[in-house]
Amino acid sequence: MVRIFYKEKKQIRKENDVRMLSQIPNVIWVDLQSPSPEEEEWIESKCQVSFQTPQEIVEIESSARFLNRAI
Strand intervals (E) in the chain: 2-8, 11-15, 27-32
What confidence tier does 71 reach under pLDDT thresholds 50, 70, 90?
low
What pLDDT, on the 0 to 100 scale, is given for residue 27? 92
Cβ contact 30:19 at 8 Å? no
pLDDT of res. 61:
64
Predicted TM-score (pTM) of the model is 0.66
Is the pLDDT at 70 greater than 80? The verdict is no
> Helical H runs in 1-71?
37-47, 54-63
